[in-house]
């Protein structure tokens, strides 16, 4: 089976390499990622992972893998910051508190059957000073990242506690991904 990764994320490619999987091609789908009214964060990432996987054309002998990750405080979904002010707002909201990082993954097998799993990781940030927030915003690292931070980068120093899947926070829960790929007939290197 050939593997199609429905993403152009280098982080997802790196995480796949950790489990011996290598995409044969990349196909980043263009879908509307707007949360639906009253949609829970978990339902949101599961829906987006499924929609991304199904939006990619699949040829004979191919399986498609897609994922989506979001950060949530309560039921409030924190997407990617729109600008530096939005990033500051997110970091201030996360400062000194626990939040959830939900990651959904979907594999469409060779017969067109979609399988979906998710991970829920609890992350607790230390209390951030204004200077720490300023430095992080100035680094540019949080732009383009769900919740405004990259746990695999400078923001790892903010994490006081983590319970769940570190790889899920990075962008693809490798345990769940491997299980779905195996169930879909993918042969690992």
Catalytic center residues: 68
For residues 91 and 126, is the Cβ–Cβ distance under 8 A? no
Closest CA to 70 of 105, 104, 36: 104
Residue 120 token pair? 């829920």
Cα(first)–Cα(last) distance of the chain, in Å? 12
Residue 61 token pair? 């002998």
For residue 22, give the DSSP letter.
-
């Amino acid at each position: 089976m050939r593997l199609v990764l429905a993403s152009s994320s280098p982080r997802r490619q790196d995480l796949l390499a950790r489990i011996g999987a290598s995409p044969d091609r990349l196909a980043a789908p263009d879908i509307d990622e707007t949360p639906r009214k009253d949609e829970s964060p978990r339902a949101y990432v599961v829906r987006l992972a499924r929609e991304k996987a199904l939006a990619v054309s699949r040829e004979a002998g191919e399986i498609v893998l897609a994922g989506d990750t979001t950060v949530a405080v309560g039921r409030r979904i924190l997407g990617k910051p729109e600008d530096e002010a939005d990033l500051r707002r997110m970091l201030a909201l996360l400062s000194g508190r626990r939040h959830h990082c939900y990651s959904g993954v979907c594999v469409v097998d060779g017969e067109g059957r979609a399988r979906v799993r998710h991970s829920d990781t609890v992350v607790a940030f230390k209390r951030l000073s204004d200077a720490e927030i300023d430095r992080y915003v100035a680094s540019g690292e949080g732009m383009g990242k769900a919740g405004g931070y990259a746990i695999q980068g400078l923001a790892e120093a903010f994490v006081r506690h983590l319970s769940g899947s570190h790889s899920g926070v990075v962008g693809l829960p490798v345990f769940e991904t491997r299980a779905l790929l195996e169930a879909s007939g993918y042969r690992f290197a």
